[in-house]
Chains A and B, each alone.
Chain A
Amino acid sequence: AQTVTQSQPEMSVQEAETVTLSCTYDTSESNYYLFWYKQPPSRQMILVIRQEAYKQQNATENRFSVNFQKAAKSFSLKISDSQLGDTAMYFCAFMKSPGSGNTGKLIFGQGTTLQVKP
């Protein structure tokens, strides 16, 4: 069975600085997807970034980038130039890829609450 672990329940960062959120996972699959979701106080789940395991290049989306270390089963999220609107809970999630018994199921970590301070 797959598991996802986020070992930092809470983090804080000063506005305009950089912060890295950690995520590790356990799987025997070779192909899969990894995601970071953001949940602001509004409760809406928003996809931040997606990484496909067969791609060696780390995904980036504007100020958000990941450090994907497949051998170490690590998938950290780096937020550059932090903004007050980045204050939210962040979830790391895993999904098997199509063709490997994928049922569309997302397996989530416990979440990391990020506070951006002015």
Chain B
Amino acid sequence: NAGVTQTPKFQVLKTGQSMTLQCAQDMNHEYMSWYRQDPGMGLRLIHYSVGAGITDQGEVPNGYNVSRSTTEDFPLRLLSAAPSQTSVYFCASSPIPYYEQYFGPGTRLTVT
């Protein structure tokens, strides 16, 4: 079991570029989510999904887009990268109801 996988592990972007952070899970979890981690602020929810075809905004959704076409995959798209999006991004999944969330290894993104 691979659990939750994320690619890439590291990425550097220039301001204005777009990219997609990939997240996949092989546990057949209905729930998937994206968090960003910034120093002194813990993790904050960006977007989440309760199943294929269903997504919703979290606490800090601006500048990010998501879709969920399959149970396994939940990509996060940065439409036009900004330095404020420099952060570490975590994908997580869990069965419903949400007793425990399983986190991926994270992606460190730097926007210059």
Contact = CB atoms under 8 A, between A and B. Distances in A.
B48 A104 contact: yes
B45 A106 contact: yes
B105 A44 contact: yes
Given A105-B48, A106-B43, A50 B100 contact: yes
B109 interface: no
Interface in A18-54: 33, 42-45, 47, 50
Chain A: interface secondary structure?
Answer: loop
B56 A110 contact: no
B2 interface: no
12 contacts: A42-B105, A44-B106, A45-B43, A45-B90, A45-B103, A45-B106, A47-B101, A104-B98, A105-B45, A106-B35, A108-B43, A109-B42
Contacts of A108: 42-44
B53 interface: no
A4 B35 CA distance: 16
Interface residues of B, number: 28
Given A44-B105, A44-B106, A110 B40 contact: yes
A56 interface: no
B41 interface: yes
Interface stretch (A59-67, A70-78, A79-87, A95-103): A95-103
Nearest to A45: B103
Given A47-B100, A98-B98, A111 B42 contact: yes
A108 B56 CA distance: 19
